[in-house]
Structure 1
Amino acid sequence: MSYIMVDIESDGPIPGDYSMVCFGAVVVEPGLERTFYGQLKPISEKYVPEALAVSGFSREQVLGFDEPQEVMSRFADWLAEVSKDRLMFVSDNNGFDWQFINWYFHHFTGRNPFGFSSTNLGSLYKGLVKDTFQTFKHLRKTRHTHHPVDDAKGNAEALLTMKEEMGLKIKL
């Protein structure tokens, strides 16, 4: 199984009504060198200015991004290239990130290469330390910048630390 850490930025709370602005992915493995980054043109006229501001882009900038079908097809091709194994989607907030990636894959390519499962990094950490009040965020080495590749790398670093230093049994 290949674990792919994903982070997305959007201009609103749900896919379809709002748009995924950009996303990043990294193969969870030592070195964290295999990454993907996509910027997507909006699919809707609706957006929440405060949500868009988190991404660091203006509405004018995102209107010039790539067509979502092109980006999602490139992402699917990248996933097929980096792993011939089953893919596991992992995210800091998989309830949010997963809904956008899943919707965009199904809407623009007809299928989601991740299948129907995802893993929440925070929940995994809470189980590992047996404390629902704990957070993994101190395990990140890469600064959390809201650039999705940076954020995915930081989260992947945390997962690698859980495996290498905390005894998480996971095959990466």
Structure 2
Amino acid sequence: MSKPEIYVSTDVEADGPIPGPHSMLSFASAAYLADKTLVATFSANLDTLPGAHGHPDTMRWWADNRAAWDACRRDPQAPEAAMRAYVEWLDALPGKPVFVGYPAAYDFLFVYWYLIRFAGRSPFSHSALDIKSYAMAVLKTDYRESTKRRMPKAWFDRLPHTHVALDDAIEQGALFCNLLAASRREATG
């Protein structure tokens, strides 16, 4: 019997728009089964990259979000250690990991770059599932109309969105599972 897919909702906090010139400050993943069972979580705060600097626009945003900034700067670790531990965690999940993000284009960019740079491989391969794109298909709307404000309230659990990576990974993972369930209900009738 093949392993089930494990939906790894992942959130990144960074000091700029791209990895390399800027650093991933914190990231977290919440691994869910399709039925919204939370299997495991992973979270790490990271040292900044040598020679990298915060982007002025991003640093202005952080200045207005001090609690989240303080949370992502608490006990940072070397990216090498964090990414190797993350690969071990992903490999130990009881299924095939599927990266899930909101927006996947941003979060996956950082996670994939850091995985390749510091762990030498990505258990996700080159793939990432974007919650907003999936919502667009289910809602039968244009992409830019597929915002959280326009999604059905039933898709949201009462979970905080704090810009602390683990909080946001859990919240977005629950959203994805609710969307997946709604999509499957619609498909069966």
1:13-24 aligned within 5 A: 13-24=17-28
Whether 1:75 aligns to 2:86 is yes
Contact 2:45 2:75 in 1 (8 A): no
**Displacement after TM superposition at 1:104 (Å):** 0.3
User: Structure 1 runs of 4+ off > 3 angstroms?
Assistant: 51-55, 61-64
Distance (whole Å) between structure 2 residues aligned to residue 67 and residue 155 of structure 1: 26
- What is the match of residue 131 of structure 2? 121
- Structure 2 unmatched runs, 5+: none
RMSD across aligned C-alpha pairs, in angstroms?
2.3
- What is the match of residue 2 of structure 1? 6
**Displacement after TM superposition at 1:11 (Å):** 0.6
Distance (whole Å) between structure 1 residues aligned to residue 126 and residue 40 of structure 2: 23
Select the structure of larger CA radius of gyration.
2
Q: 2:122 aligns with which of 112, 116, 131?
A: 112
Whether 1:42 aligns to 2:56 is no
- Mark the CA change 1:46 to 1:157 in structure 2 (over 3 Å): closer, same or farther: same
**Displacement after TM superposition at 1:154 (Å):** 1.1
Distance (whole Å) between structure 2 residues aligned to residue 38 and residue 86 of structure 1: 22
User: Helix, strand or coil for the counterpart of 2:38?
Assistant: coil
Whether 1:93 aligns to 2:103 is yes
- Mark the CA change 1:169 to 1:153 in structure 2 (over 3 Å): closer, same or farther: farther
Identity of aligned residues (%): 25
Contact 1:162 1:168 in 2 (8 A): no
Distance (whole Å) between structure 2 residues aligned to residue 36 and residue 23 of structure 1: 8
* 1:101-131 alpha-carbon deviations (Å, 9 max, x no partner): 0000000011111101111000001101111
1:130-169 aligned within 5 A: 130-132=140-142, 133-136=145-148, 138=153, 139-141=155-157, 142-167=159-184
Aligned AA (2:48):
P
Contact 2:7 2:32 in 1 (8 A): yes
Contact 1:10 1:52 in 2 (8 A): no
TM-score, scaled to structure 1: 0.86
- Mark the CA change 1:45 to 1:161 in structure 2 (over 3 Å): closer, same or farther: closer
Equivalent pairs, count: 167
Greater helix percent: which structure?
A: 2
Whether 1:57 aligns to 2:61 is no
**Displacement after TM superposition at 1:70 (Å):** 0.5
**Displacement after TM superposition at 1:86 (Å):** 2.7
TM-score, scaled to structure 2: 0.79
Distance (whole Å) between structure 1 residues aligned to residue 125 and residue 84 of structure 2: 16
